[in-house]
């Protein structure tokens, strides 16, 4: 199973990692949209269904499911390759380092550190442009238009604005998720191969591991999500953004969008891990 059950699993199943990441990214797009909107502080107009106003606490989720789905394809593709690269690279890298004699701690932490940093740097223009599109007050309609506006306003460097906060947010999140995933893989009792419900037991075991890994990664990095998205909105530097948030919201900004982030991050990360395990299990039977 993905996540520490034996050397060679990642090497033998790259397509399962990619397909699992694509499935998780697709079904979780609305949750990502709700989180991006909330953490960016974008103002959402009142949502009405059948003439009835939706409560403000629920409105961001309802809005996230409603068209237009600006940047959906680019967002899904970006999240697909990014999560697949991080989880596959982390598991494959761990196996290589363990085979080379490195201790388990280093072998577990080093690959997601390197891979998630590289992925964040490569994906940054796409991340900024797709989040910018989610502003309900924006006249932009496509990712290319968003990229063009950012380039015209801030130059090439503007496309990578927020990379420092993005790395601070993304790298710890995936290191935490991978470490918890691997720890749970070792800590949970294995399913009994002689049980009549062996395959279901393996899936339940994977579900517990995946949920714990997703929640741990999301909760840790919420303040950094807020800082990164505020940098996108204001184009301020990292230190200036933190000062601005402290002056306008106090330290309460660390909780801004936390509930939505737990849903938007924990669920897709957990789903990616779970779907990977399920697909590898199915392909191995």
Residue 284, pLDDT score:
81
Residue 195, pLDDT score:
93
pLDDT, one tens digit per residue, over 246-270 is 999 998 888 887 877 777 788 999 9
**Of 238, 272, 266, 264, which is closest to residue 39 (Cα–Cα)?**
264
Integer CA distances (angstroms), 184 to 96, 201, 206, in order: 21, 15, 9
What span, in angstroms and rounded, lies between the C-alpha atoms of 216 and 270? 10
- Annotation: CATH topology of 9-284: Mitochondrial carrier fold (1.50.40)
Residue 61, pLDDT score:
77
Domain boundaries, the chain: 9-284
Residue 38, pLDDT score:
77
Residue 7, pLDDT score:
53
Quick check: 143 and 199 in contact, CB under 8 A?
no
Q: Which residues contact 56 (CB under 8 A, 6 or more apart)?
A: none
> H helices within the chain, ranges in order?
9-12, 14-27, 29-40, 59-65, 72-99, 104-133, 143-154, 156-159, 163-187, 198-234, 238-249, 258-261, 267-284
What span, in angstroms and rounded, lies between the C-alpha atoms of 247 and 241? 10
Residue 145, pLDDT score:
95
Q: Which residues of the chain have pLDDT under 70?
A: 1-7
Inter-residue long-range contacts of 9-16, CB under 8 Å, 24+ positions, other chains counted: 9/91, 9/95, 9/280, 10/88, 10/91, 10/92, 10/95, 11/92, 11/95, 13/276, 13/279, 13/280, 13/283, 14/88, 16/276, 16/279, 16/280, 16/283
**Of 279, 277, 283, which is closest to residue 204 (Cα–Cα)?**
277
Report CA 50 to chain centroid distance, whole Å: 34
pTM for the whole thing?
0.83
């Amino acid at each position: 199973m993905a996540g520490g059950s034996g050397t060679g699993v990642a090497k033998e199943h790259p397509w399962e990692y990619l397909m699992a990441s694509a499935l998780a990214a697709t079904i979780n797009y609305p949750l990502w949209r709700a989180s991006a909107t909330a953490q960016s502080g974008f103002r959402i107009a009142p949502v009405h269904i059948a003439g009835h106003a939706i409560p403000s606490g629920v409105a961001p989720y309802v809005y996230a499911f409603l068209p237009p789905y600006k940047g959906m394809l680019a967002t899904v593709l970006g999240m697909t390759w990014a999560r697949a690269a991080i989880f596959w690279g982390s598991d494959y890298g761990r196996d290589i380092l363990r085979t080379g004699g490195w201790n388990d701690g280093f072998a577990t932490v080093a690959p997601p550190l390197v891979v998630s940093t590289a992925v964040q740097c490569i994906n940054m223009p796409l991340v900024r442009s797709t989040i910018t599109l989610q502003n309900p007050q924006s006249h932009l309609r496509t990712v290319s238009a968003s990229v063009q506006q950012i380039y015209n306003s801030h130059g090439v460097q503007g496309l990578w604005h927020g990379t420092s906060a993005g790395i601070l947010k993304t790298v710890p999140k995936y290191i935490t998720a991978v470490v918890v995933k691997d720890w749970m893989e070792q800590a949970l009792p294995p399913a009994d191969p002689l049980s009549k419900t062996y395959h279901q037991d393996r899936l339940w075991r994977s579900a517990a591991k995946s949920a714990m890994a997703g929640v741990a990664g999301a909760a840790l990095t919420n303040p950094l999500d807020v800082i990164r998205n505020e940098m996108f909105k204001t184009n301020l530097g990292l230190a200036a953004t933190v000062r601005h948030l402290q002056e306008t919201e106090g330290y309460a900004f660390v909780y801004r969008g936390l509930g939505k982030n737990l849903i938007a991050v924990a669920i897709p990360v957990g789903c990616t891990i779970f779907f990977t395990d399920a697909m590898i299990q199915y392909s191995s039977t």
